[in-house]
Structure 1
Amino acid sequence: MAHTSAPLPRSAPETAADLLDPEVREVARRRGFVELSEAQEQAIPLLLEGRNLILVAPTGTGKTESAMFPVFDRLLGTAGPGFKALYITPLRSLNRDILSRMEWWCRELGLSVGVRHGDTPQNDRRKQSLNPPDLLITTPETLQALFMGKRLREHLKNVRYVVVDEIHELADSKRGAQLAVALERLAAYAGEFQRIGLSATVGNPDEIGRYLCGTRPFALAEVPVASHLDISVRFAGEDFA
């Protein structure tokens, strides 16, 4: 089971950003990315190699971009109809947050994005059925429901990337079991795809990796919380008593 990355060749670029398509780098620059975070430096090379990945990093370290920069890179060269990438979150409110972020990136890169869950209006559902977006943001329950429609099921055939956000919230629950079944159904229907799990904190990353990937190999990238803490103790007085 591959849990660490092999050293890059000596001729490799100095940063993970150098591995990305120039168009992705330019859009990131316009978005204000001066340099990549530690999480992004670890995750991007592994994902561009096509590995399944569990990324554990503190909130605010850019986990979403760690996953999506390589996915955007690959989507730029992927033609054809159907959903090509799925971004799965445990909460509808998180779906809306991710959608607001992804809309900017996809617009700048010439990609399409949509969101689908239980409250999605029928008109939007019909549009997705007729013209599916490259990236679909959804929930575990809605992923299962996509298999029910003949046209939507056909759109799933081109899925090559699946990102599961806040994966620790799902792994040890009935909803998580439902998602695991849905991912295996998707693999049987669309063929193998790259699996990416994101978590701010998890005590058992190996178990989370096996939950997401089954018997498939996966890599693990971890950014310790302690490396992002700046702690000082200030005391005014004669003694602690």
Structure 2
Amino acid sequence: MMGMIPLLIIVIIVIGILVFSTRTRNKMVHKKGKFSYSQRVYWLLSGYVVILLICLILNAVQPVKIMDGLKKVNTADLERESLNLYDAAVEGSINQEGSKFLRKKWNFNYQGQQLNLAVIQDENIDAMVVVEKKNNNDGKIEAEFYQTRSSYNGMDITELANLPGMELAGDQLTLLNPKRSEIKFSQFGNTFNIKQFTGEPSLFSEHHSEFSGGQRIIYLRIPKDLELNYPENLNLQFVE
């Protein structure tokens, strides 16, 4: 209902301009060979009325601003989720506290005494790695990927992101970054003629975008006596 108020105001203004233009036209004094001042005013106002009517039609058929299939989210809630997941990971309670953010799991049989954690061509892994040592030597490496919700301009885009990979070859466990996601957004907005009545920012106003990537954690559980080697630039932390 509130969205109709600016349109009603514009309709009233348009009607007023039409009435004024009609009266002005009736009072025009014609001068041979050129338009009189009243004629110029009439055509100027009539042209503007036509533009307003076109803008009203465009505004009525404009697509809905919220993208279909994407939910609205609160940034404060996302920040709280990220902090809670981090705390749960470093405290070793991620199974209970972060189960709803589990996105992927791996299991490897491994009997070696040392394990080299590696990345491809020294690239930075877009996730924090947390390592928990088990209470026994069961010969198994368990890996899990957790991710809290991410957003763009208040829309949940978590499901649009690709997942990381992991490969075990010999004594080396390689972490693989997810494939890059290319996301394109289109935004429809009112024309200047509508914005001057609704109070929306103009075309030349500064536009701000807000992105929240969420917390991304690769959680490893390794045998008790397994020695882990990893590159210095890897964001890795052991369970406290």
Q: Same fold (TM over 0.5)?
A: no
Larger Rg: 2
Higher helix share: 1
